């Protein structure tokens, strides 16, 4: 029904383009098209490798009506498969993470699957005609590791993630040198009444940093915006700035602190994975914008810290500050945008873009919207 207008989104010139039309942020039919063309066909970060360290460790990743299990096998291989029994379709595992002892047992008729997904035993089926348990297996999906994080894709014909994000891993390793050596210290989920793209849009511009709420201004005071850059590289982009010279950060002295980087560093892998570090904090953060519906998103914040160093007071304060101060301040902005996008008084705005692609420039939004639009409409 939108075909007429769709071809009209003139977005070729970032400097004059109008933003992605509002209906992309609330319309049910467009959301379904987006699920089919983006969410079910792209790579999603599930966990850090340390979360599935020993055989049986699993992490579950739910996306809309789909559920995927990532499991460490006996041999040390990591498997990813749909979280659904091959007998009558029961969902196998409910928990976000845990440890499977020996087999995954279906709660309905107790079919038992090995860690590699193969059916080990189907109770009371010996008499069945033409039934060979050895030929039954949970349905696997592609899994890949990039910079020690595990990604899955529900599209079995997908191209490798590594091909999509060439250059991203070395950039991550430059700013997050302890990537291989971190463990999860905190994971917090928030349900936000906003489209996932509202949250991405907000995350990938620095324009609002010094203009919105007081918590943003605290973060802005730690960054030297004269060196701030926002760069798009196809299916990944990053934005980063060197530290401002300060004595204290997040309420603690920075003297003697160890940290991944004293830069403000953020990288996003298309479509919804962000990995970041705040200045002076010995913490790697992950930030996933997982759609729940056209106007509802699960925001998942993970905080990881180096295994080999104890968590400093400053690093603890950062996790608390992010979960309880910056996060809520951004969420309020996201919800306010979502409410406005449905207004009869708004459809498209202007990207604020400067020729130098400086700290206030919204060119990453334009880049992201183009990826969304082209994924949906070819």
Q: Which does 93 bind (CB under 5 to 8 A by kind): ligand FES, Fe ion, none?
A: none
113 touching ligand FES, by CB under 6 A: no
Exactly one of 100, 106, 172, 198 binds ligand FES (CB under 6 A); that residue is: 106
137 touching ligand FES, by CB under 6 A: no
Query: Closest approach of Cβ 185 to ligand FES, in Å?
Result: 35
Q: Which does 106 bind (CB under 5 to 8 A by kind): ligand FES, Fe ion, none?
A: ligand FES
111 touching ligand FES, by CB under 6 A: yes
Name the residue nearer to ligand FES (CB basis): 32 or 121. 121
109 touching ligand FES, by CB under 6 A: yes
What is the full DSSP assignment across 10-25?
A: --S-TTTPBPPPGGGG
Name the residue nearer to ligand FES (CB basis): 84 or 223. 84
Query: Closest approach of Cβ 351 to Fe ion, in Å?
Result: 17
* Total of chain residues touching ligand FES, rule CB under 6 A: 8
Which strands sit side by side in the sheet containing 104-105, from one edge to the other? 104-105, 112-113, 119-121
Two structure tokens written together for 178: 């302890």
Exactly one of 14, 85, 230, 277 binds ligand FES (CB under 6 A); that residue is: 85
Query: Closest approach of Cβ 90 to ligand FES, in Å?
Result: 4
Name the residue nearer to ligand FES (CB basis): 88 or 377. 88
Within 13 A of 129's CA, how many CA atoms are on the CB side? Answer: 0
**Cβ-based neighbours of 279, under 8 Å, separated by 6 or more:** 222, 223, 243, 244, 249, 259, 261, 262, 263, 264
CB 335 within 8 A of CB 319: no
Question: Stretches 84-92, 193-201, 315-323, 338-346: which one binds ligand FES (CB under 6 A)?
Answer: 84-92
Name the residue nearer to ligand FES (CB basis): 90 or 229. 90
Residue 237 CA to residue 222 CA, distance in Å, equals 22
Question: Stretches 49-57, 87-95, 237-245, 273-281: which one binds ligand FES (CB under 6 A)?
Answer: 87-95
Query: Closest approach of Cβ 267 to Fe ion, in Å?
Result: 16
Q: Is 225 exposed, middle or buried (0-12, 13-18, 19+ CB in 10 A)?
A: middle
Query: Closest approach of Cβ 104 to ligand FES, in Å?
Result: 10
139 touching ligand FES, by CB under 6 A: no
17 touching ligand FES, by CB under 6 A: no
* Total of chain residues touching Fe ion, rule CB under 5 A: 1
Largest CA distance in the chain: 75
């069945």: which residue's tokens?
128
Helix extents (H) in 237-312: none
212 touching ligand FES, by CB under 6 A: no
Exactly one of 88, 217, 307, 342 binds ligand FES (CB under 6 A); that residue is: 88
Residue 168 CA to residue 30 CA, distance in Å, equals 30
51 touching Fe ion, by CB under 5 A: no
Residue 112 CA to residue 82 CA, distance in Å, equals 15
Name the residue nearer to ligand FES (CB basis): 94 or 307. 94
118 touching ligand FES, by CB under 6 A: no
CB atoms within 10 A of CB 292: 15
Within 13 A of 153's CA, how many CA atoms are on the CB side? Answer: 20
Residue 292 CA to residue 30 CA, distance in Å, equals 14
Residues between 287 and 346 with contacts to Fe ion, criterion CB under 5 A: 330
Distances from the Cα of 14 to the Cα of 106, 240, 352, 357, angstroms: 52, 21, 9, 11
Q: Is 146 exposed, middle or buried (0-12, 13-18, 19+ CB in 10 A)?
A: buried
Exactly one of 87, 173, 233, 357 binds ligand FES (CB under 6 A); that residue is: 87
CB 285 within 8 A of CB 305: no
CB 143 within 8 A of CB 151: yes
Binding residues for Fe ion (CB under 5 A): 330
Binding residues for ligand FES (CB under 6 A): 85, 87-88, 90, 106, 108-109, 111
């Amino acid at each position: 029904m939108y075909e007429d207008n769709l071809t009209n989104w003139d977005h070729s010139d970032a400097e004059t383009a109008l933003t992605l039309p509002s209906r992309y942020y609330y319309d049910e039919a467009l959301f379904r098209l987006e699920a089919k063309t983006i969410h079910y066909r792209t790579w999603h970060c599930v966990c850090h490798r340390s979360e599935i360290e020993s055989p049986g460790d699993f992490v579950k990743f739910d996306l809309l009506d789909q559920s995927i299990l990532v499991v460490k096998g006996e041999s040390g291989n990591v498997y990813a498969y749909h979280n659904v029994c091959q007998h009558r379709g029961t969902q196998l595992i409910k928990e976000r993470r845990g440890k499977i002892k020996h087999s995954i047992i279906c709660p309905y008729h107790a079919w038992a699957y090995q860690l590699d997904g193969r059916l080990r035993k189907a109770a009371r089926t010996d008499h069945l005609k033409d039934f060979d348990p050895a030929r039954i297996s949970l349905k696997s999906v592609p899994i890949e590791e990039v910079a020690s994080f595990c990604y899955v894709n529900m599209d079995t014909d997908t191209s490798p993630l590594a091909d999509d994000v060439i250059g991203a891993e070395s950039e991550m390793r430059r700013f997050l040198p302890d990537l291989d050596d971190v463990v999860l210290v905190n994971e917090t989920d928030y349900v936000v009444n906003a489209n996932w793209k509202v949250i991405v849009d907000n995350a990938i511009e620095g324009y609002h940093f010094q203009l919105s709420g007081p918590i943003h201004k605290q973060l802005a005071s730690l960054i030297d915006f004269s060196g701030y850059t926002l760069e798009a590289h196809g299916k990944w982009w990053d934005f980063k700035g060197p530290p401002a010279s300060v004595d204290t950060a997040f309420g603690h002295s920075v003297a003697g602190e160890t940290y991944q980087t004293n830069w403000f560093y953020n990288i996003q892998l298309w479509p919804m994975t962000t990995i970041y570090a705040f200045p002076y904090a010995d913490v790697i953060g992950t930030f996933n914008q997982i759609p729940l519906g056209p106007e509802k998103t699960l925001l998942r914040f993970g905080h990881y810290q180096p295994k080999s160093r104890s968590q400093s007071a400053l690093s603890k304060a950062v996790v608390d500050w992010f979960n309880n101060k910056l996060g809520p301040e951004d969420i309020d902005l996201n919800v306010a945008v979502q409410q406005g996008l449905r207004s009869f008084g708004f459809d498209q705005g202007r990207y604020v873009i400067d020729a130098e692609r400086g700290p206030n420039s919204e060119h990453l939004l334009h880049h992201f919207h183009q990826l969304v639009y082209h994924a949906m409409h070819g």
